[in-house]
Structure 1
């Protein structure tokens, strides 16, 4: 049995990690979610260390996505004695923007003004409590999917009447004040083992798809995205580490934007997949996949 197993659904996104593991001669089992099943009465995990690599955007690629299946599977493997990285608890946070914002606010950090509803019919009523412009977001998103901006209540009501609101696979929506972002850039802080790894500034030209990975940037029709290495203030780094630890995220990104109206940092997203930045040697001067493999190797040795 290999010491490490990875559950995934997007081979292209995993290619850099697989290549780094292969270069280091680390044995691993790559388990594609498609076609997978498990016996809930069984008590054998595929490896002592499991790395969950299921992305929330998987529902965009496949109607039979594994998001909820993976939560049950990760909990089952943990019960079988495996150490699961980004396990069931982290997946539950990753799969709910509403829970993310609640967690961030509980930590005393600022978030965009938001209302959460579970019916399309309640979106306009929730919007009336907020200031326009605003955005309506699906609770589970990915790569900017499920976000629409509305400039006033009349526009929202008219578009909603024609069905022009985001779909939501779990029937939960966030109605959120649109935050004018200082400099047009958001900052994504990556963490590993609860500690800061690196940060990048991402400018999507006003769009919502800010995925920084090679596979995302190469997607046909994707608007141009500008990425640069960032050096966040210590307070932002400390906040991102607190969020990652509270969310149970072993490795993942935390996104923050500076509200141009008053300079307030507003945290708004926790991403448990961690699509590392494209062209890392050019952007960062080093490859985070090598650090990730160092960490995984240490974790495997601890479980041996």
Structure 2
């Protein structure tokens, strides 16, 4: 049996990880989730340690997306004794912006003012409680999908009347204040094993697709400016509390500083950290090397 299985959906995003695992001599197997099926009365785990790399944005690439299939699969393998990294409970949070905001708020972290509904007809009512400008977001998102900005009630009313409001694969929608981000950047705080790994600023807070990885740059055709930085200690502590609260083994937390009053607003949890593009250029080191060392330790623990 291999030491490690990588379960993934996007065909290109994890090439740097696969290369790092090869360099380290780790015996691993790649499992594309797209055509996967399993027997709930059988289908033993393919490895002692299973690393979930299924992207929330997979619904953009496959209408018959694997998100909920993957949650059931990881729960099945874990019940049979496998160690599943970023398992089904993490996916449950990663796949729901509403649950993310509830968690962040419960942890005492500032978040954008938000209302959650399940009918497009209720968007206008909740928008009045938020005020304009605002964003309407799909609860299940990824790569900026399912987000629209509205600067007036008339704009939102026209879109709702035309049946053109965003939709979410789970039928849940968010109405959220549009935060004016200081310096036009977001902060992305990455964690590994629940501990701070690195932080970057990502330019273009007015955009919605701010995935920082090489493959995302290739797909967009335009690189996004990213810079390494040292976040304030309270931001690092907040990100680590988030990781601990949901048992996130690897993942990022995104923050915007509200230019109106300087308050950092936590607004997104992303358990699919495929890491920054051009890491040595941006960070001075490659986080995949540290990820592989951490994976070695998890494999050793699972073998005891």
Q: Same fold, TM exceeding 0.5?
A: yes
Q: Tell me, which stretches of 5 or more residues in structure 1 are unaligned?
A: none
> What's the counterpart of residue 106 of structure 1?
106
| Deviation per residue, 1:29-79 (Å, 9 max, x gap) | 111112211111126211111100100010111111110101100111110
C-alpha root-mean-square deviation of aligned residues, in Å? 1.1
1:181 aligned to 2:214?
A: no
Contact 2:139 2:170 in 1 (8 A): yes
For residues 163 and 195 of structure 1, the distance between their equivalents in structure 2, rounded to whole angstroms, comes to 44
2:130 is paired with a residue of what secondary structure? coil
For residues 246 and 262 of structure 2, the distance between their equivalents in structure 1, rounded to whole angstroms, comes to 25
> What's the counterpart of residue 265 of structure 1?
264
1:128 is paired with a residue of what secondary structure? helix
> What's the counterpart of residue 232 of structure 1?
231
| Deviation per residue, 1:173-222 (Å, 9 max, x gap) | 00000000011111000001100000000012621111000011111455
For residues 89 and 11 of structure 1, the distance between their equivalents in structure 2, rounded to whole angstroms, comes to 24
For residues 186 and 36 of structure 2, the distance between their equivalents in structure 1, rounded to whole angstroms, comes to 37
Alignment of 1:216-227 (within 5 A): 216-220=216-220, 224-227=223-226
For residues 102 and 142 of structure 2, the distance between their equivalents in structure 1, rounded to whole angstroms, comes to 19
> What's the counterpart of residue 72 of structure 1?
72
For residues 121 and 160 of structure 1, the distance between their equivalents in structure 2, rounded to whole angstroms, comes to 7
- Extract structure 1 runs of 4+ deviating beyond 2 A: none
Cα 1:191–1:8 shift into 2, 3 Å: same
> What's the counterpart of residue 161 of structure 2?
161
Alignment of 1:6-21 (within 5 A): 6-21=6-21
Contact 1:43 1:80 in 2 (8 A): no
Alignment of 1:96-135 (within 5 A): 96-135=96-135
2:209 is paired with a residue of what secondary structure? coil
Residue correspondences, number: 303
Superposition deviation, residue 163 in structure 1: 2.4
1:103 is paired with a residue of what secondary structure? helix
2:63 is paired with a residue of what secondary structure? coil
| Deviation per residue, 1:1-46 (Å, 9 max, x gap) | 0011111111200100001001111000111112211111126211
1:61 aligned to 2:61?
A: yes
Q: Tell me, which stretches of 5 or more residues in structure 2 are unaligned?
A: none
> What's the counterpart of residue 192 of structure 2?
192
> What's the counterpart of residue 249 of structure 1?
248
* TM-score for both structures, normalised by structure 2: 0.98
